[in-house]
Amino acid sequence: MSLAVNKEIWILEDDKGCQFVYEQTLDHRYKTTYFTKIADFREALAESETTPSLIIADLMLDDGNFMTYLNESKDKRLMTTPFIIVSSIDDIDALRFCFMEGALDYLTKPFKKNELIVKIENIISGSIRQANSVQAHKTMNLDGNEIENLTSKQKQLLSLFLNSPGRVVSRDDILEQVWGDTSVHPKTVDVHLYNLRRKLNEVGYIIRSEGGGKWSLLSDRISA
């Protein structure tokens, strides 16, 4: 495959040894930009008029969790920019969560250089770009309010609330309707509800715990 030197990759990595591996493996193939902190990445993205072809991010950086930042970011460009997670965390729940949130791949450190190169080439060439196509539609309407920058799981959760009697759902409802046969850690549901709650708060809605593993979707203008 010919070198795609015109393609830009942004890499978030605070481990110097791992960054050295990236430099030796990728710098002669692509236009690479390195960040050791999410704050620096956020600032560069805000100042840039373009977006990278691919983001490679360590899951846990010194100043935070990349997936948490991704969920909280209001920059719509991140919703359509493919990304790979690279982490020393070899945990099934972490893998599931990252894939559910749109990661195209998850590599566990230490990774093989050739494996990384092939995965990047596949993404850059667009051979698996369809896996990220769901990221392009991130807006839902809630009582006339446009809720933007929702992940696919957050859209499913919000739809479940809207289609449930009294807008009340249970943990069993969520596991059955959103995750189906996929086994997930109970905390995964809590994380998704927490992130959805943050986005709904911006337009005057709350997700209130009703106890017993149930939650209700309410306008915060309604007295409890």
Q: Specify the CATH number for the domain of residue 26.
A: 3.40.50.2300
Q: Are residues 144 and 90 in the same domain?
A: no
Q: Are residues 125 and 171 in the same domain?
A: no
Q: Are residues 141 and 123 in the same domain?
A: no
Which of 77, 109, 135 corresponds to the end of one domain?
135
Which of 135, 151, 186 corresponds to the end of one domain?
135
Give the count of domains, the chain: 2
Q: Are residues 175 and 211 in the same domain?
A: yes
Look at residue 1 and tell me if it is in a domain: no
Q: How far is CA 129 from CA 94, 134, 150, in A?
A: 22, 10, 19
Token digits for 163? 């289609």
Token digits for 47? 């100042």
Q: Are residues 28 and 58 in the same domain?
A: yes
Look at residue 3 and tell me if it is in a domain: no
Q: Specify the CATH number for the domain of residue 142.
A: 1.10.10.10
Answer yes or no: pTM beyond 0.75: no
Q: Are residues 155 and 175 in the same domain?
A: yes
Q: Are residues 100 and 17 in the same domain?
A: yes
Q: Are 204 and 78 in contact (CB under 8 A)?
A: no
Which of 89, 114, 135 corresponds to the end of one domain?
135
Burial 63-85 (b: 16+ CB within 10 A, else e): eeebbebbbeeeeeebbebbbbb
**pLDDT tens over the chain, length 224 residues:** 444 557 899 999 999 999 999 999 999 999 999 999 999 999 999 999 888 999 999 999 999 999 989 888 878 788 778 899 999 988 888 888 888 777 888 888 988 899 899 889 888 876 444 444 444 457 888 998 888 878 778 888 999 999 999 999 999 999 888 887 766 666 778 878 888 888 898 889 999 999 889 999 998 754 44
Q: Are residues 112 and 147 in the same domain?
A: no
Determine the structural domain holding residue 159 and report its residue range.
137-219
46: phi then psi, degrees, rounded to nearest 5: -65, -35
